[in-house]
Structures are given as structure tokens and as C-alpha cells.
Amino acid sequence: MSRIGKNPVVVPKGVEVTLSGQDISAKGPKGTLAMTLVDDVTATKEDDVIRVMPRNESKRARTMWGMQRSLVDNLVVGVSTGFTKELEIVGVGYRAQTQGKDLVLALGFSHEVRHPIPEGITIECATPTQIKISGADRQRVGQTAAEIRAYRKPEPFKGKGVKYVGEYIFRKEGKKK
């Protein structure tokens, strides 16, 4: 049995979940999200609880069971509280700011990097070295954070670059004379 799949998804107050066949949609204070479950699993709704179960005992049904339950949970949590990723910029002269619908990054290149902010994602720069990415869709929040980090990944000698808050950067010793 799947340890994750057997846990029910609790729907908090203020979130409305609609289940029709394999389609699930959730509406809450942070917006509306929808997804389609794979054919190998079924979802049932009782009161404020959604249960995801495999249709049969095939290997594919058992492997999809836990993942689909996690995706349904992400749907419900996303429309109720949302998801957040925080990035930190380390380096002299490295900074970030939002201009309209773009995030403008100065990362030591000869030009500034402009990253368009996707629909449904909000980016805040409290300080020039802190970036806070938030939204209802967990996948889009994580993908946006990964794309911003990819412009200048942290390097192991001085640790300069864009990193997640709390991320450990393995440091190397420099050249010896």
C-alpha cells in the first residue's frame, strides 16, 4: 500500500472542490485550479475529505496512486494558502527589482537580465538581494524559481550567484601557491 496515497486529502473551509469523473477543480481565496486524474486511479469526495484509490492492482495503478494524491493535495493547498519560494542573491553588485511585468536582474553580465513574470505568479523584491516568488500552482512557482536561479547558479569558490534561501553551497578551496 502507498503510504502517501492512503492518506485522505482534507478540504479546508473556504475551498470548494468539484469532482466530475476524472476531472477535479478547486476554487478558493487564491484562485481556481483544475487537473485531470490518470485513468488508473479514482477519486471520491465525502464531506470535506477527498480519497484517491487505485482502480486495480496493476503496477502502474499503484505507482500513480501516491503521485495523484499529492497532486490533488497541492491543488487544494494552492487555492487555500498558496506556495512560496524565496531566492537570495549573493555577490557584489548583484541585485534584483521588479519593473512592470518583468523581473530585472543585475548578475555581473554586461547587460541586465529581464525575466517575464508568468501569469498567476507574483514576485516581490523586499530588498535588492531577496526575491519572493508566490502563487497558487506549486509547479509554476518552482519552475519560475528554477529558471531565475539558472541565470547565475551559485559557484563553489565564493558562493556568488542566485540560490534558494537555506540552500547549502558546497565550498571548494581555491588555488594554492
pTM, two decimal places = 0.89
The neighbour count for residue 87, using CB atoms within 10 Å, is 22
Identify the three-state secondary structure at position 44.
Answer: strand
Q: What pLDDT score does 174 carry?
A: 87
The pLDDT tens digits for 1-56 are 778 999 999 999 999 999 999 999 999 999 999 999 999 999 999 989 999 999 99
Q: What pLDDT score does 92 carry?
A: 94
The pLDDT tens digits for 129-174 are 999 999 999 999 999 999 999 999 999 999 999 999 999 999 999 8
Is residue 104 a contact partner of residue 114, using CB atoms and an 8 Å limit?
A: yes
Q: Can you list the domains of the chain with their CATH numbers?
A: 9-80 (3.90.930.12), 83-164 (3.90.930.12)
